[in-house]
Chains A and B, each alone.
Chain A
């Protein structure tokens, strides 16, 4: 039995998908585990339920399908993702390039059946290739915790610091570990974050000011004061120009 989650912001599109899934029921045993009208709803759903396949609309308000798919990759076991889209030349080209499965709306039952049969055997799209499909910065970061996905809204993040193998994501409330590269994060969120140190990006909106650092720090003369946390982040000698640029504003 294939457990399927339908994700689409348009109710008629979800109904249509249900009809189609019941049509292919004679060939593949499908169980519709649930429906979600937004990306966030879908991610909440998979916190408690295990699904095998997610039928995911690309163009949704709030969090788009491609970002949802990236968060889904953190799940254990990882569901297969089949994208659905009515018309999005960019996404279609990208799907072709990365051999990601997608269905064009209006969807034909035969095509859906084919995709579901393949989803059983093919490993889920890798996180890496999905990141390349993403055109705009993600709304959230996600951390895997005990096989579940924890979403961290980007606007809550105070700083991102590279540790040995991980990146620490610090919010006012707590910290998380994510397996991503700081350089990639810097590129993706360059408008919201600024690099103050080789290993650290801080949120521009969280910067409250700069303080003189004690001589014992071994770093440059300045450290960043951030909203919501006690910890000070040293500004490395190479990034001193950031202090000047940001205090001028």
Chain B
């Protein structure tokens, strides 16, 4: 897939039949249609579930077989033109439906359904799904997805910017060297924010960014902000969506540390388990800490960016425990190509 910006109109494309999200969508939609069909077949609503499970005996093997064949043909399909691809998918489905029909005849049906009608239903369902995936592809097509990624780029709170500037100014006269470091950190942070953040970035680089950010906050908040890093098991070659972690830390400081006069700990834990990468961030939580309201923005922003990069394979959850607020991200462990 082209990684560069694509301003051309989206030309139709078949979905990736090996993507878990796509397979799940096909299963859900097809079963939805089967349920509706079952509703029309029965005379009383209470027979509906039975009818559906009755049909499922045929529908489910057919669906799974279809998915298997399409997954096997995936590479072939993607080498063809869109029109030829559609034709092949249709053909596969109709042949499978015909084969199942002949195989199941006499075995399962009491009253024989009409082959032509069955074929029509299969063809229409397949066509509908293909149109759906084409529309979805357009919605997520690189040009649009990248534009959305740009718009979603995390923004630093002005509150943080101006307070940090003020803190740096306070150092200029007495401790010029610390002021220099702080300005460098600030520059690094803004460089990252203004960069082209559409492609996955090295995890190590993101962690460095977080360290720069926390150093600036510590300058301002002093003892009140304590940081615990647990990154010994962090895979150094992993790639993650850029700015997926820093806004979460900014939230942690803004909601967990600033509203309290007591010192608090922000902890960051990053590790990989087999092919998944996990990041867990914790900060103190006070039930009465209504000092600042609303932190849903950063969370939904990052959630959406994870979705654009990984579809359903990534997950962000937030929960409140014993006076602790915890955000967990789990995503596929993507390794950087070796240079």
Residues of A within 8 A of B (CB): 9-13, 15-16, 19, 38, 59, 61-62, 86-88, 104-107, 136
A188 vs chain B, min Cβ distance (A): 15
B41 vs chain A, min Cβ distance (A): 52
Q: 6 A-B contacts, Cβ less than 8 Å apart? A: A13-B166, A61-B261, A62-B261, A87-B158, A106-B166, A136-B290
Of the listed stretches B146-154, B170-178, B194-202, name the one at the interface; the rest are far from the partner chain.
Answer: B170-178
Task: Determine the chain B residues whose CB is within 8 A of the CB of A13 once the complex forms.
Answer: 163, 166-167, 170, 220
- Interface SS of chain B: helix
The verdict on B73 contacting chain A, using a C-beta distance below 8 Å, is: no
Residues of B within 8 A of A (CB): 157-159, 161-163, 165-167, 169-171, 173-174, 219-222, 258-261, 290-291
Given A61-B260, A61-B291, A136-B290, A86:B170 Cβ within 8 A? no
- Interface SS of chain A: loop
Partner of B159, one of A38, A86, A107: A86
Given A12-B170, A13-B170, A86:B162 Cβ within 8 A? yes
Given A61-B291, A104-B162, A105-B162, A12:B167 Cβ within 8 A? yes
Task: Determine the chain A residues whose CB is within 8 A of the CB of B159 once the complex forms.
Answer: 59, 86-88
CA–CA, A46 to B316, complex, Å?
49
Closest to A16 in B: B170
Closest to A106 in B: B166
Closest to A136 in B: B290
Whether A105 pairs with B166 at a CB distance below 8 angstroms is yes
Task: Determine the chain A residues whose CB is within 8 A of the CB of B170 once the complex forms.
Answer: 12-13, 15-16, 19
Task: Determine the chain B residues whose CB is within 8 A of the CB of A62 once the complex forms.
Answer: 261
CA–CA, A59 to B173, complex, Å?
25
CA–CA, A16 to B259, complex, Å?
22
Whether A61 pairs with B259 at a CB distance below 8 angstroms is yes
CA–CA, A13 to B171, complex, Å?
10
B224 vs chain A, min Cβ distance (A): 8
Task: Determine the chain A residues whose CB is within 8 A of the CB of B174 once the complex forms.
Answer: 15
A33 vs chain B, min Cβ distance (A): 20
Whether A16 pairs with B291 at a CB distance below 8 angstroms is no
CA–CA, A15 to B157, complex, Å?
23
Q: Which 8 A-B residue pairs are closest in the complex by CB-CB distance?
A: A16-B170, A86-B162, A12-B170, A12-B167, A105-B166, A86-B163, A87-B158, A15-B170
Task: Determine the chain B residues whose CB is within 8 A of the CB of A87 once the complex forms.
Answer: 157-159, 161-163
CA–CA, A59 to B167, complex, Å?
15
